[in-house]
Chains A and B, each alone.
Chain A
Amino acid sequence: MSGVPPPSAPRRVRPVATALRQGLSRGPLWIGGLLIGFIGAVALLSLVWTPLPPGKLQIVQKLKPPLAQGLLGTDHLGRDVASMLMVGAWNSLSIAVLAVAMGAFAGTLLGVAAAARRGWFEAIAMRANDVIFAVPPILSAMMLGALLGTGRFTAIIAISVFMVPVFARVTASAARQVWSRDYVQAARGAGKGGIRITIDHVLPNIANQIIVQATIQLGLAILTEAGLSFLGLGMAPPAPTWGRMLADAQTYLGRAPWLAILPGLAIALTVLGFNMLGDGLRDLLDPRERSR
């Protein structure tokens, strides 16, 4: 009646379930990485090769469904959809990457400066963020577009300006945490200046969070760029963009539904790829911030 029960457990969690759970926890990283790797490779390939020149008009072959003409069919001007999607990938990715890089650079600068200076500088910088955040990039692109004309440059500026507060908030709060650590306070006590401490201690410690944030924001930038070019606020025609392909497809919804489906799928998969890659990187690099 007494004694310790046998150490061997009566019920064990099946190893299959454990493997599945581990697989699922690393899944986002793999799926996201593969998606982005594939789309990135296609975008780069489009610089040197596409099945047909994306601008080549073949009116007689217009509105052909996938596989009837080319891999993915043709649009209302007889252009090859597959080629346009490939070049569209390059246009989308290059705008998104440039915009996020610029926004991340300026935002990080603002964020670490706010954390280093505190006081009124921080208050003003953070209030400025609220101001920028209140004007979504679609609207600022309209404002800029009205005066400067629409195009790639306007789109990049509009998106990157909106990225600044996003990165400033993330880096400021992360940098404040680093600043509160004992060894940083010790370095400060030893007479190290704010810029030195920021370079030596703060930036290396928050780099991972910036990378994770940049990955996730790339998804948002892709969505925004697609929206801008859908409204005609993105790259000027005839450059093919996913957003304008969708805008053109609206007229032919009944006759050529693939024109409305394919570019949207390309956008969704790219955004999904960046989001999953970002989630996976967060779990890998920044376990404290783990969301689940």
Chain B
Amino acid sequence: MDEPLLRIEDLAIFIDGPDGGRQAIVADMALTLAAGETLGIVGESGSGKSLLSLAVMGLLPAAVHATGRILLEGRNLLAMGDDALCSVRGRRIGMIFQEPLTALNPAMTVGDQIAEGMVIQQGLSWRAARQEAIVLLDRVRMPDAARLSKTYPHALSGGQRQRVGIAIALAMKPALMIADEPTTALDVTVQAEVLDILDDLRRDAGMALILVSHDLGVIARMCARTLVLYAGRRMEEGATRDVLTKPLNPYTRGLLRAVPRRQPEGGRLQTIPGTVPSFAARPAGCCFSDRCPDRIDACHADEPPWTRATPGRGVRCIRAHGERAP
């Protein structure tokens, strides 16, 4: 059987407590991604989706640790030392961050920031790498790329900065691109274009993409498959079309109802009552049981297991099969 590009198994992410203890933020995480495939990870803030992407990069903050296995092309990233990880980061996995302003070094020209990885990792000369950086800026549809490559980030607009972010992630033609809320910090008008650029480049290069977002609209547009996260747990996974049209988990249904859309009768936008529980104050049983409209007593008893409904379709809910709410 072919090894997938990325396979995550039994991943848990812990944070060190002030008293020396550990708290699990993400638990029982698993996913597979084939080369060239696109996966959207959706969840509210606090669902652990950003930590998940940082764990794949091996860039978790100092007080956070991961256990389990993250296999990239068959090699377990969690078992690698930092030296080995450095040759994976940038070359095999590129990452685009949420805040294009703070994610760029204010004291280095954008061209050099794009070129840097190629010089240090691939041994290109600065001259060649800077030329390549201009080509990359051109590919992310930056106007006047040659001139702008010599400017500093503060001189660029938000959308232009995020294009630089994409160019940095793209520079070494990684097999996997992780984009963490790449358009959240941008103006609505710019969001569409940045997504468009990202989608085009991904297709051209045949890269796999993990797109992390709280925005179902963005995911629906970009990703063939979707994974729904809540409070550090997988709630539902499947082809994006299936997840959005035939959700199995009450949480996914809640998310879908909360998506703003043009409604003829001007009805009120629905929300899920309550907030994501902090990882220290999870309810007993199912982590969504305190907010779930469809809960029954059994929901408070045990954490429901992850179950596969059909191939490529999974859900974590004891009421997902048969007892579907109307």
Contact = CB atoms under 8 A, between A and B. Distances in A.
Interface of A: 1-5, 9-15, 18
Contact of B303 (A4, A12, A15): A4
Interface of B: 10, 12, 14, 16-17, 20-22, 24, 27-28, 67, 282, 302-306, 316
The 8 closest A-B pairs by CB, nearest first: A9-B22, A2-B305, A13-B20, A12-B20, A9-B21, A3-B303, A2-B306, A5-B24
Contacts of A11: 22
B306 A18 contact: no
A13 B284 CA distance: 27
8 contacts: A1-B305, A2-B28, A3-B303, A4-B28, A5-B27, A9-B21, A13-B16, A14-B20
A138 to B, nearest CB: 37
A270 B180 CA distance: 54
B28 A15 contact: no
A3 B301 CA distance: 12
Nearest to B65: A11
Contacts of A12: 20-22
Contacts of A15: 20
Nearest to A8: B21
Contacts of A13: 16, 20
A1 B306 contact: yes
A3 B306 CA distance: 9
A15 B18 CA distance: 11
Contact of B24 (A1, A2, A4, A14): A4
A5 B17 CA distance: 16
Contacts of A9: 14, 17, 20-22
Among the interface residues A2, A5, A13, which one has the most CB atoms of the partner chain B within 10 A? A2
Contacts of A10: 22, 67
A1 B316 CA distance: 12
Contacts of B27: 3-5
B316 to A, nearest CB: 8
B306 A5 contact: no
A3 B22 contact: no
A24 to B, nearest CB: 16
A155 to B, nearest CB: 45
B169 to A, nearest CB: 32
Contacts of B24: 4-5
A14 B10 CA distance: 27
A3 B305 contact: yes
A14 B16 CA distance: 12
A15 B20 CA distance: 8
A4 B12 CA distance: 9
B132 to A, nearest CB: 41
B143 to A, nearest CB: 43
A11 B14 CA distance: 11
B277 to A, nearest CB: 13
B20 A18 contact: yes
A1 B12 CA distance: 12
A3 B28 contact: yes
A1 B10 CA distance: 8
A176 B193 CA distance: 45
Among the interface residues A1, A4, A15, which one has the most CB atoms of the partner chain B within 10 A? A4
Contacts of B67: 10
Contacts of A18: 20
Nearest to A3: B303
A2 B235 CA distance: 12
A9 B16 CA distance: 9
Nearest to B284: A4
A2 B21 contact: no
B76 to A, nearest CB: 18
A4 to B, nearest CB: 6
Among the interface residues B22, B27, B28, which one has the most CB atoms of the partner chain A within 10 A? B22
B12 A5 contact: yes
Contacts of A5: 12, 24, 27
A147 to B, nearest CB: 49
A1 B30 CA distance: 11
A275 B181 CA distance: 46
B28 A1 contact: yes
B303 A2 contact: yes
Contacts of B302: 3
A13 B20 CA distance: 5
A114 B174 CA distance: 58
A10 B20 CA distance: 11
A2 B307 CA distance: 9
A91 to B, nearest CB: 48
A187 B316 CA distance: 58
Nearest to A6: B24
Contacts of B304: 2
A5 B16 CA distance: 15
B323 to A, nearest CB: 19
Given A1-B28, A4-B27, A5-B24, 11 more contacts: A2-B28, A2-B303, A2-B306, A3-B27, A3-B28, A4-B24, A5-B12, A9-B14, A9-B17, A9-B22, A13-B20
B289 to A, nearest CB: 13
Nearest to A18: B20
Nearest to A9: B22
Contacts of A4: 24, 27-28, 282, 303
A228 to B, nearest CB: 42
Contacts of B14: 9
Nearest to A15: B20
Contacts of A14: 20
Nearest to A12: B20
